[in-house]
Amino acid sequence: MGYGSYVAAVAEVSVSKEGRLKIHRIIAATNPGHAVNSAQIERQVAGSFVFGLSAMIYGECTVNGGAIEQTNFDTYNVMRIDEMPKVEVVVVPTGDFWGGVGEPTIAVAAPAVLNAIFAATGKRIRTLPLMNHDLSAA
């Protein structure tokens, strides 16, 4: 539960023998209470995965000489379009409260993908960002 809404997600991934991760698909379910515009909810949920997955894969800030080295998008990586998985959204409104729709699903991005990586490789990843890990099979 986040921002007054209930959310869940599962991910479909593959990991090559060399350890290259490909996130193929994410299925996300959300109960925001009331659903006024389902199409907008789907777009916000999909967009939130860009933030959540970017943080999981690349989210690292390093300090050098007392200053953060990542000062803009040329030095702080985020997911690009070719990395973004297909996001399928299931909206399950109960109509009994008003909740958020964009922010709550950011929190389920990493757990869904990390569980899928474990299923694919047998490796449990417990620290982030993912770019610092060898994902080749255990």
pLDDT in tens, 27-74: 999 999 999 999 999 999 999 999 999 999 999 999 999 999 999 988
Q: Give residue 130's pLDDT.
A: 95
pLDDT 10s digits, 89-129? 999 999 999 999 988 999 999 999 999 999 999 999 999 99
What is the per-residue pLDDT across 13-26, written as a single tens digit (0 to 9) for each? Answer: 999 999 999 999 99
CA 27 – CA 66 distance, rounded (Å): 41
Which pTM was predicted?
0.90
CA dist., res. 92 & res. 11, Å (int): 19
